[in-house]
Amino acid sequence: MSTAHPGRKPRVALFITCLGDQFFPQVGESVVRVLRRLGVEVTFNPAQTCCGQPAFNTGYRDEARAVASGVLDLFDDADYVVAPSGSCTSMMRVFYPELFAGDAKQLAKVEALRGRLFEFSEFLVNVLKVEDVGARFPHRVAYHDSCHLLRELGIETEPRKLLCAVRDVELVELQDNQLCCGFGGTFAVKFPEVSVAMGVDKTRAAAATGAEYLVANDSGCLMHLAGLIHRQGLPLKTLHLAELLARE
């Protein structure tokens, strides 16, 4: 546990992500449950919406900057900002400096945010120094490395450490586990056929492991994969890592 805040609980502000807010609120609830279990005070600022990535990713930088500017003022009173998404965390950590390049005032705010911003699994393992969060999940689980989490943030071992510490879980690796699932943000609707073809490969690889659950840390990838699994009628369910870690 962090000792940076003697005498009180560390205060974590959630960046819940727009997909998490509207499609998968149970992910956010699970994040809250896990963090509280670890003695963290959790806050949520309802002034938040989106990190701006859809616009940035599609080349609309002015629009992305306008949306991202709103994020920079949301979390002034928090010790940490935690997002259950590798992709949104990448947007804020890796791409905000590029988006606000040349704007010293906004860059100072970006730096203040980046210093406190963590993706959920990295926050647990690297900040709270916890691997066993007290979860139990008696199922066979395949973990999918989402690309932004893996390549922009370099988070590969943290989710696996957390999964390995879950009681009664059986963790299996996917063949070609670093291969993209095909989501890609607006790519999914600009090149839907390619996106789907890539995703079909991924869901088949997951089904081939005999896993009951396909777990990842990004709601975008999970929405895409869940949609493919449902369309194909595969005997497989998707789950965000936070949801799994919240099970007791």
Partner 1 sequence: MSEDLVTSNAIHERSVEALADAHLQDAYGSSALRLYTHRLSAVSEVPGWQRLRDRAQALKREVMDHLDFYLAQFADNVEKNGGKVHWAATAEEACAIVREIAEQAGAREVVKAKTMLSEEIELNHALEAAGIRPFETDLGEFIVQLAGDRPAHIVAPAIHKTRHDVSDLFVKHLHSEPTDVPEQLTAIARRALREKFAATPLGLSGANFAVAETGTVVTVENEGNIRMCTTAPRVHVALVGIEKLIPRFADLVVFLRLLGRSGTGQKLTVYTSLLTGPRRPSEDGPEEMHVVLVDNGRIATLADEKMREVLHCIRCGACLNTCPVYRKIGGHAYGWVYSGPIGALVTPQLAGIAKARELPFASSLCGACRDVCPVKINIPDLLLHLRSEAQEKVPAPRPSGSPFSERTSMRLWAWAMQRPWAYTLGARLARFGQRLFARQGWIKKAPMFPASRWTEGRDLPALAPKSFRERWKEISSSSQ
Size of residue set near partner 1 by CB under 8 A: 70
Count of CB atoms situated within 10 Å of the CB of 88: 27
C-alpha span between 215 and 145 (Å, rounded): 9
Q: How far is the CB of 229 from partner 1 (least distance, A)?
A: 9
Q: Which is nearer to partner 1, 13 or 169 (CB)?
A: 13
Element (H, E) at 56: helix 53-57
Q: Which is nearer to partner 1, 45 or 126 (CB)?
A: 45
Question: Smallest gap, in angstroms, from Cβ of residue 160 to partner 1?
Answer: 19
Report how far residue 55's alpha carbon sits from residue 68's, in angstroms, rounded to the nearest whole number.
10
Q: In sequence order, what are the beta bridge partners of 44?
A: 14
Contacts of 56 (CB under 8 A, 6+ apart): 64, 68, 91, 95, 99
Q: Are 149 and 119 in contact (CB under 8 A)?
A: yes
CB-wise, 9 or 140, nearer to partner 1?
9
From the CB of residue 200, how many other CB atoms can be counted at a distance below 10 Å? Answer: 16
Nearest Cα to 116, choosing from 93, 86, 84? 93
Q: Which is nearer to partner 1, 130 or 153 (CB)?
A: 153
What part of residues 202-241 is at the interface with partner 1 (CB under 8 A)?
223-224, 226-228, 230-231
Q: Residues 162-201 vs partner 1: string with x where CB under 8 A?
A: ----------------xxx-xxxxxxxxxxxxxxxxxx-x
Beta strands in 3-119, from DSSP E residues, in sequence order: 11-14, 41-44, 80-83, 117-119
Contact segment (CB under 8 A) with partner 1 among 44-52, 105-113, 122-130, 131-139 equals: 44-52
Q: Are 219 and 19 in contact (CB under 8 A)?
A: yes
Q: Which CB sits closer to partner 1, 60 or 131? A: 60
Interface with partner 1 (CB under 8 A), residue from 12, 16, 92, 163: 16
CB closer to partner 1, 90 vs 121 = 90
**Strand pairing partners for 170?**
140
The residue from 12, 21, 144, 240 that contacts partner 1 (CB under 8 A) is: 21
**Alpha helices, H only, 73-182:** 86-90, 96-99, 104-114, 120-122, 147, 157-164
What does the block give as tokens for 127?
């900040």
* Binders of partner 1 in range 130-159 (CB under 8 A): 147-148, 151-152
Q: Tell which one of 44, 165, 172, 177 touches partner 1 (CB under 8 A).
A: 44
Asked if 49 is part of the footprint of partner 1 (rule: CB under 8 A), the reply reads yes
Binding site for partner 1 (CB under 8 A): 16, 18, 20-26, 28-29, 32, 36, 41-42, 44, 46-50, 52, 54-61, 63-64, 66-67, 70, 95, 98, 147-148, 151-152, 178-180, 182-199, 201, 223-224, 226-228, 230-231
